[in-house]
Structure 1
């Protein structure tokens, strides 16, 4: 799960940077909320989760990690699509925002439970140096 989180986080990073570039060129700063959420919940949070899952193998093998991955990666795009359209003045997809936000919240709760129950000092992955 750790590697999957890290790889998908890079996709969110690219999307966030492309959106930031578009915002700068088009002066579309009304999209700041989408830009920030993609970078924070997509790039940053998923990278950190991926690192933690990799360092602590019990968290990576737990079903909680898989649930976290799918809830986060279904919820975040839904929430961002709804927010994007709402900030553009089109509220037809605004219902995606609470659905996506709820999925992300639940995913983060599963992540927290996973970390709190499965991270132990003696279980940390030790890196081999040559």
Structure 2
């Protein structure tokens, strides 16, 4: 398995754990204000990063590219900062809005880069 696949799987499981912890907190306190952050953590963190890991495991030629590493360096911190900022924003910290906006753009750029990886990777 390429190193980037392992990186994505390890990162994805961290986001899944965070998503579950946040879900448990919301459920136990009956405060669902952060449900949007919970959804983003699980979808962009757990699900999407798992898909990235699977893709790279199945297509090691794309996994070894500089673009793949750069994409990970942009996407993963983008999701992390966006998730934290979104949690803060949804729970009342309005000052987090520009942080969420910038991090969302980083996530979008990371998705576009992953699309470029897919189109550039030669498959058998």
**TM-score normalised according to structure 2 size:** 0.93
User: Cα RMSD (Å) of the superposition?
Assistant: 0.9
1:76-109 deviation per Cα after TM superposition (whole angstroms, max 9, x unaligned)? 1211122111111111222111111011100111
Q: Note if 1:17 corresponds to 2:23.
A: no
What secondary structure, in the 3-state scheme, does the structure 2 residue paired with 1:94 have?
helix
1:24-45 deviation per Cα after TM superposition (whole angstroms, max 9, x unaligned)? 0011211110000000000000
Q: What is the aligned partner in structure 1 of residue 112 from structure 2? A: 109
Structure with bigger gyration radius: 1
**TM-score normalised according to structure 1 size:** 0.89
Q: Note if 1:32 corresponds to 2:35.
A: yes
Runs of 4+ in 1 over 4 A off after TM superposition: none
1:22-81 deviation per Cα after TM superposition (whole angstroms, max 9, x unaligned)? 010011211110000000000000001101101101111011111111111111121112
Q: Tell me if structure 2 keeps the 8 A contact 1:9–1:46.
A: yes
Q: What is the aligned partner in structure 2 of residue 75 from structure 1? A: 78
**Relative to 1, partners in 2 of residues 1:110 and 1:63: Cα closer, same or farther, differing over 3 Å?**
same
Structure 2 unpaired stretches of 5+: none
Q: What is the aligned partner in structure 2 of residue 126 from structure 1? A: none
Structure 1 unpaired stretches of 5+: 123-130
Aligned residues: 121
Q: Tell me if structure 2 keeps the 8 A contact 1:78–1:99.
A: no
Q: Note if 1:61 corresponds to 2:64.
A: yes
Q: Distance in 1 between matches of 2:87 and 2:18?
A: 13
Q: Distance in 2 between matches of 1:67 and 1:107?
A: 9
